[in-house]
Amino acid sequence: MACTITVLCDNGISRPGLVGEHGFSALIERDGKTFLFDTGPGMSLPLNFETLGKDPGKIEKIIISHGHYDHTGGLKWILSRTGEVEVVAHPGIFARHMVKDSQEPSAPARFIGCPWSREELEAWGAGFAFTDKTKKIDDDITFLTGYALDPKKVALDSRLVVPYGAGLTIDSMEDDASLLIETAGHPVLLLGCAHAGVLNILGYIRNELGVKRLKAVLGGTHLMFYGQESLAEVMDQFDDFNVEIVGVSHCTGMKATLELAGRFGSRFFVASVGSVLDFT
């Protein structure tokens, strides 16, 4: 049950020779199989794959956490290297995800969804396996999505909108998904952006899947959109789960990152490009 997770795309880098960009992607190698979780915006992947000595041609399955460009933009390049490959995602990944940067009523919203259409991706080799419910997608890897959310625990970014009638409405990000990966010890929770809210995700895996301990929590946490009280509760929950490694990326936010570092000390690190975690 050996498992290695390598961060391929993040806002920052862990050493020279790598490229950072706003987004997230991680390579999962376990028991002779290779999976890609998210693809970032796409510009950094070719260089980072090469620099880290990883072969995109070995990828057997691509898993998408949600339909924003900074997690799906690299799909075209990856598919050019994999050929026909299964792509696991929530069916809502092609929603018209938008962001409204200005509070001015007349200010337009801009599109931030997947830059490629389903038809384009299928022509390039994507074989979509859509699921709107939690599902085991490989031995010991579970795709977490489609469960009930407490709205008070959602990582709500009010700038995120979708078209509704003649106007716009808050984007519920129903396509948000995470991964639960079994290891020889305890499971690893791998997050794309955690739009559902870290507290909702933790509550779900505890109450519905019976998970009591976590080896690691990795990836984008969207904690920059949690209030101070919710952030404190997240940290308490990490302790309740006896999380051994807290590795945050991408959309965590500087303030939350500093607080997590102060709270967890040697158990904490920034999961930037080039970070490698081995679970045996």
Q: With a cut of 80, say whether residue 252 has pLDDT above it.
A: yes
The three-state (H, E, C) secondary structure of the chain, written as one string:
CCEEEEEEECCCECCCCCCCCCCCEEEEEECCEEEEECCCCCCCHHHHHHHCCCCHHHCCEEECCCCEHHHHCCHHHHHHHHCCEEEEECHHHHCCCEECCCCCCCCCCEECECCCCHHHHHHCCEEEEECCCCEEEECCEEEECCCCCCHHHCCCCCCEEEEECCEEEECCCCCCCEEEECCCCCCEEEECCCCCCHHHHHHHHHHCCCCCCCCEEEEECCHHHCCHHHHHHHHHHHHHCCCCEEEEECCCCHHHHHHHHHHHHHHEEECCECCEEEEC
pTM higher than 0.85, yes or no? Answer: yes
Give the model's pLDDT for residue 262. 98
Domains of the chain: 3-279 (3.60.15.10)
Instruction: Give 48-106 pLDDT, tens digit per residue.
Output: 999 999 999 999 999 999 999 999 999 999 999 999 999 999 999 999 999 998 877 77
Give the model's pLDDT for residue 107. 80
Instruction: Give 231-247 pLDDT, tens digit per residue.
Output: 999 999 999 999 999 99
